[in-house]
Amino acid sequence: MRVLILGGDGFCGWPTALHLSATGHEVAIVDNSSRRRIDEELGAHSLTPIESLDVRVQAWREVSGRSIETAAFTVGKDYDALLDLLKAWRPDSVVHFAEQRAAPYSMKSARHKRYTVDNNLNATNDILAAIVDSGLDIHLAHLGTMGVYGYGAAGMAIPEGYLTVKVETPDGWAEREILYPANPGSIYHLTKTQDALLFQFYARNDGVRITDLHQGIVWGSQTRETRLDPRLVNRFDYDGDYGTVLNRFLMQAAVGYPLTVHGTGGQTRAFINIQDTVRCVELALAHPPQRGERVKVMNQMTECWRVRDLAQMVSRLTGAEVAHLPNPRQEADENDLTVENRRLLGYGLEPVTLEDGLLLEIAEIARSYAHRADRSKIPCVSCWNAERVQATAQQSSVAAE
């Protein structure tokens, strides 16, 4: 299969590109290096020393004997480049990672809100419009987020994309299946709910085949392929904007910083290991929807954990202390969460569990690269709104007394 990976230089995109290449697919990457530029903007950097995309691809050729083509342009702006590439390279599938993917970054300021909306929605619309324009029957797989559902709204397991409800009709209450009502927690999550409406429209109007993978919070950084050579190492973010919660804990433990739990830590979230991410994308590409079928939605997650329980697990394994900080996010302090994920399990996913994989991750990444950490980048300084700015400042000053 020919697979075009948009955003193939990023945290999920790069290991996905390697995994698909390793499993015999022809792979090409489009990336505009936006994630690397954001590192510069934030003065942050990956804990692991990542190489340029050119070096990465060259290393992969040496290690595997396989080529990955690359192109550098902005999906969502350079429409003609995208359309020309589709027509010339004729991919069977496009995997769409070309979005700004950090909730805290999307909430930093008006500029960051505007960038996230502009980048993410124009990227998704351009891909869909270009697939229609190309006349090719390309399957689009998109990395969505569990965050589109909101958390624990209905008190039932979150289904895979669609919710059965009863609506009143002239003949009484009747069952209907609707797109799960959106309840996004940040501008970033919001754009993914808006993406879902784009997918629904193009699937119905143009018959585009689309899979939307609602992914949990990714932990870990290495996969079978990225371990093959130091130059293939994946990025590992630990800063307050891009570092996902568990990876932040691992790095905090490694450098002797307390594990920073926001609020009570009673937030339950869905998780997945990066190795399972790349496997799930492969499974999704192997099981596309039929032409004319509605958007296929799968929940790409393997475990649910409360944040404080994660902190305790890491603390137990490492001896690190747990510190409770005011929550900069506008969200409930405590929530339950159960999630349906039968489809990907049914296709053969065998999850890497936290309890099995955590020690390896601590040894392999957090401890090995702890000397590269910049402790000043650990705190999350993006507040969700004016009230959270005040509350965070107040509680921090109380805590400091």
Q: How far is CA 364 from the centre of its chain?
A: 22
Integer Cα distance of 268 and 32 in angstroms = 34
Among 47-55, 203-211, 355-363, 390-398, the segment contacting a copy of itself (CB under 8 A): 203-211
Cβ neighbours, 10 Å, residue 377: 18
Annotation says 202 is catalytic: no
Residue 397 sits in the site that holds a copy of itself (CB under 8 A): no
Q: What's the sign of the alpha-carbon dihedral 369, 372, 374, 380?
A: negative
Residue 108 sits in the site that holds a copy of itself (CB under 8 A): no
Residue 78 sits in the site that holds a copy of itself (CB under 8 A): no
Decide whether 178 or 399 has the Cβ nearer to a copy of itself: 178
**Strand (E) or helix (H) holding 174:** strand 172-179
> Of 78, 84, 92, 118, which one interacts with a copy of itself (CB under 8 A)?
118
46 touches 238 (CB < 8 A): no
Please name every residue paired with 322 in a beta bridge, in sequence order, or none if there are none: 259
Q: In 3-state terms, what secondary structure has residue 5?
A: strand
> Of 24, 65, 88, 135, which one interacts with a copy of itself (CB under 8 A)?
135
How many residues of this chain bind a copy of itself (CB under 8 A)? 51
Annotation says 166 is catalytic: no
Q: Which of 192, 226, 277, 392 is catalytic?
A: 192
For the record, the structure tokens of 203 come out as 């699937």
Among 3-11, 199-207, 298-306, 319-327, the segment contacting a copy of itself (CB under 8 A): 199-207
Integer Cα distance of 322 and 239 in angstroms = 17
Decide whether 22 or 198 has the Cβ nearer to a copy of itself: 198
Annotation says 302 is catalytic: no
Hey, which residues between 310 and 349 contact a copy of itself (CB under 8 A)? 330
| CA angle (33 as vertex; 31, 39 as ends), nearest 5 | 145
DSSP 157-169: -B-SSEEEEEEEE
Catalytic residues: 145, 188, 192
Residues near a copy of itself (CB under 8 A) are 79, 83, 110-111, 113-114, 117-118, 121-122, 125-126, 129-130, 132-133, 135, 154-156, 163-170, 173, 176, 178-179, 181-182, 184, 187, 190, 193-194, 197-198, 200-201, 204-207, 330, 384-386
